[in-house]
Amino acid sequence: MKTKKWSFWLRLAGTSLSLGLLAALLWRLNWSEALAYLQGFSPAGILLTLGLYLASQALNTLRWCTLLWGHEVKISFWQAFRITWSGIFASNFLPSTIGGDGLRLAAILPHTGGNVSVAVGSVALDRLTNMAAMACFLPAPLLTFGEALPGLLSLTLPGSLGKVFPSVGKALQEWANRPAALGWALLAAFPSNLVFMLAAFTVARQLGMEVSFWQVMAVQTVTYFLSVLPISINGLGVREVTYTTLFAALGVSLEQASALAVLTRFFILLITLPGALWVGSLGSPAGQKAQDA
């Protein structure tokens, strides 16, 4: 009980601090200049950005599906996509950026025949393979921002994963004899993250930012590892402050960096809204019938 209370206060303090820093940054903005950047955003650019974020979400689903299908879980891509969609939507209101994993776990359990180890293992391994893929991008921020990053990133590693999923150790054994499924999941993790970064790069270029895809990759990698810390709701504030600070360090104006942080957050939220349609029904008998339709 004490641990849960401390976790609550930690998240509350983290969210308050992050939002306070974000408010301080926004206070310094030249809003007329920021709005001028936004006016240069074309409708085609908006559609392309939304399409890229949606494609990234589909690739995330494919990564999870390779683990489920590798364990002979009978679920279609569309069923898994709706569960993933709902989980990402739920993450908008839960701690860190992985809060929706609990919803995915509950929703996939009926498809595994009630096998908790398979359900927990699929969600945990899906998260771990994505982290492994993102770790492969660490040379980008190291070369871009210097060698001070390893100490910072070491704080973000999922050392408390076992506390979140008490049976993770046992669950992971379910895939010990299924290396092919793990390999395919890791391969799917690379394009899903690269497409996500490409969406941010598209927004940056629309805002007139003179940054390379490599630099966007560097910022996105650091932001990812900081955002998984359970100190803020869906990385709210943490993500925006990190975006603004790192892009400003690359010579981008504060107005452009802040506009990028806010716009990408808005696009990500917008693309997850359809997931709200299934959140309430996932895991219920009626919800299972709707998924099978």
pLDDT (tens digit per residue) in 24-62:
555 555 555 555 556 667 888 889 999 999 999 999 999
**Bigger pLDDT: 201 vs 182:** 201
275-279: long-range contacts, CB 8 A cutoff, minimum separation 24:
275/82, 275/85, 275/86, 275/87, 275/88, 275/89, 275/90, 276/86, 276/89, 278/82, 278/83, 278/85, 278/86, 279/86, 279/89, 279/90, 279/103
Report the pLDDT value the prediction gives residue 55, as an integer from 0 to 100: 95
Q: Which two tokens stand for residue 200?
A: 């941010």
pLDDT over 50 at 269, yes or no: yes
Q: How confident is the model at residue 284 (pLDDT cuts 50, 70, 90)?
A: very low
How confident is the prediction for the chain on average, in pLDDT?
75
pLDDT over 50 at 289, yes or no: no
Q: What angle do CA 82, 227, 51 make, to 5 degrees?
A: 40
Q: Is 187 exposed, middle or buried (0-12, 13-18, 19+ CB in 10 A)?
A: middle
User: In this structure, are residues 262 and 254 in contact, taking their beta carbons and an 8 Å threshold?
Assistant: no
Mean pLDDT (whole number) for 212-234: 82
Report the pLDDT value the prediction gives residue 19, as an integer from 0 to 100: 52
Pick from 70, 73, 69, 107: nearest CA to 88: 107
| Helix 254-272 with 179-206: angle, nearest 10 deg | 130
The reported pTM is 0.74
Would you give the distance in Å from CA 130 to the centre of its chain?
A: 10
The residue assigned the tokens 């809003």 is 31
pLDDT over 50 at 203, yes or no: yes
Report the pLDDT value the prediction gives residue 65, as an integer from 0 to 100: 94
User: pLDDT tens digits, residue range 230-242?
Assistant: 665 656 667 878 8
Mean pLDDT (whole number) for 251-278: 81
Percent above pLDDT 90 for the chain: 21
Q: How confident is the model at residue 114 (pLDDT cuts 50, 70, 90)?
A: confident
Report the pLDDT value the prediction gives residue 285, as an integer from 0 to 100: 41
Looking at residue 1, its amino acid is M
Report the pLDDT value the prediction gives residue 182, as an integer from 0 to 100: 79
